Structure 1
Amino acid sequence: MTKATLQRRPLVKQILANADDNLLVIGGLGSSNWDITEAGDRPLNMPMWGGMGAPVGMGLGLALAQPSRRVLVITGDGDMLMSLGSLATVATQQPDNLAICVLDNEKFGETGNQATHTSPRNNGPTDSGAGTDLAMVARGCGIADTGTVREASQVAQLVKDLRAAKGPIFRLVKVMVEKLEFVMPPQDGAHLKDRFRQALLGHP
């Protein structure tokens, strides 16, 4: 397996560059929150605080409620592993304005960088050397447009797909394990909710 070479922060900056009011962004707790905030905090970002496993379900609800807006979920492998069933629900609903981007560093970054299930298994009962492939899981759930990004040469197409391709789409992006400074969004959940609603609907 090729070692990951993509860095999450520059990648997320590219994905979110020139974001307008049509783009609603849900960030998974922890590192994905810091990534979207470092790219530029904005009212139409909804970073999750303590809501592990919630981003894809929230993104689906938004996509169904706001069909004229683009909804982008940016989360991590640990979060996605906690809510695999949400992918099946996305597949049954088929929202054409929903994109899911999973930044997979094969670690539970918020609890000490333990290996997640996406990490190659070298000492398991079968010693297969292969970890869980979340893109294959998404396809198995019924999301037809799935893919894995590993190389810098694939990033430009990744950005186009996440921002404009007909959904639902799922992209797994293999990123490096890095120790990065926290770039925290506001930590008041009620404020974030009200800020998001105000920007989206014109009232809190």
Structure 2
Amino acid sequence: MKRIDAISMIARKAEEKNSLIVANIGYPSRELHDLKDKPGNFYMLGSMGLSSSIGLGLSLAVPERHVIAIDGDGSVLMNMGSLATIAHQKPENYLLVIIDNGTYGSTGDQPTATSLGTDLGAVAKGAGIDEVHTVDNEDDLEKMLKEVDRGVLVVRVDPGNASVPVICLSPEEIIERFMTECARPSE
């Protein structure tokens, strides 16, 4: 399974639940934008390692909305402390999806520690997160996305980036439309 396939499935879940999405920097944001651009998507353009933290803060600030953060293995490795904070806050409305391709996909596919055996699902459990699931194929991902609305979902995918254009929105446009969507009551 490719990352763009996983992101497509996550975007469908977000559409069904009217979820806000915080997307990791680089290609994950570009892929989401190309697949399903909407005001409820926050595309990170330059803060590697913070998608999980921004998603958590958003879930706490807007508890009536469901929040999905899409993060990468390299980014979570940079900010593993966020897993402990997520564990202690226990937001019911927050799902962190870690897309683990074993590489730093946006900077040239250099290997991450997960390609050497680091298990981010085990790290999340060790941090105290109760609901942690790991999948490595589309059928299991589809099943988990139907069953799971909170906690951590590690999705193992093949390395590689889809050929998608750069996001055409300015940072100001991204944040303004996202803030407007966050202020809108949930359906």
Alpha-carbon contact 1:21-1:44 (below 8 Å) kept: no
Q: CA deviation at 1:186?
A: 3.5
Aligned AA (1:29):
I
Residue 133 of structure 2 is matched in structure 1 by 147
Alpha-carbon contact 2:73-2:99 (below 8 Å) kept: yes
Distance in 1, matches of 2:160 and 2:166, equals 17
Residue 6 of structure 2 is matched in structure 1 by 11
Cα deviations by residue, 1:45-100 (Å, 9 ceiling, x for unpaired): 00100110111111111111111111000111111111100110111111000001
* Greater percentage in helix: 2
Residue pairs, 1:41-190, within 5 angstroms: 41-120=37-116, 131-162=117-148, 165=149, 167=150, 169-190=151-172
TM-score by length of 1: 0.84
Alpha-carbon contact 2:20-2:67 (below 8 Å) kept: yes
- Identity value in percent: 33
Cα deviations by residue, 1:107-156 (Å, 9 ceiling, x for unpaired): 11122211001002xxxxxxxxxx11011111111101101101233122
| Pair 64,190 (structure 1): closer, same or farther in 2 beyond 3 Å | same
Q: CA deviation at 1:200?
A: 1.9
Residue pairs, 1:187-198, within 5 angstroms: 187-198=169-180
Distance in 1, matches of 2:106 and 2:2, equals 18
Q: Which has the larger radius of gyration?
A: 1
TM-score by length of 2: 0.91
Distance in 2, matches of 1:95 and 1:15, equals 19
Alpha-carbon contact 1:9-1:38 (below 8 Å) kept: no
Alpha-carbon contact 1:49-1:187 (below 8 Å) kept: no
RMSD: 1.7
Distance in 2, matches of 1:24 and 1:117, equals 29
Aligned AA (1:175):
V
Q: CA deviation at 1:198?
A: 1.4
Distance in 2, matches of 1:196 and 1:20, equals 18
Aligned AA (2:6):
L
Structure 1 runs not aligned, ≥5 long: 1-5, 121-130
Distance in 1, matches of 2:140 and 2:81, equals 28
The residue matched to 1:74 in structure 2 has which SS?
Answer: strand
Distance in 1, matches of 2:19 and 2:167, equals 18
| Pair 30,113 (structure 1): closer, same or farther in 2 beyond 3 Å | same
Instruction: Count residues with an aligned counterpart.
Output: 183
The residue matched to 1:72 in structure 2 has which SS?
Answer: strand
Alpha-carbon contact 1:107-1:116 (below 8 Å) kept: yes
Q: CA deviation at 1:184?
A: 3.1
Residue 201 of structure 1 is matched in structure 2 by 183
Structure 2 runs not aligned, ≥5 long: none
Aligned AA (1:113):
D
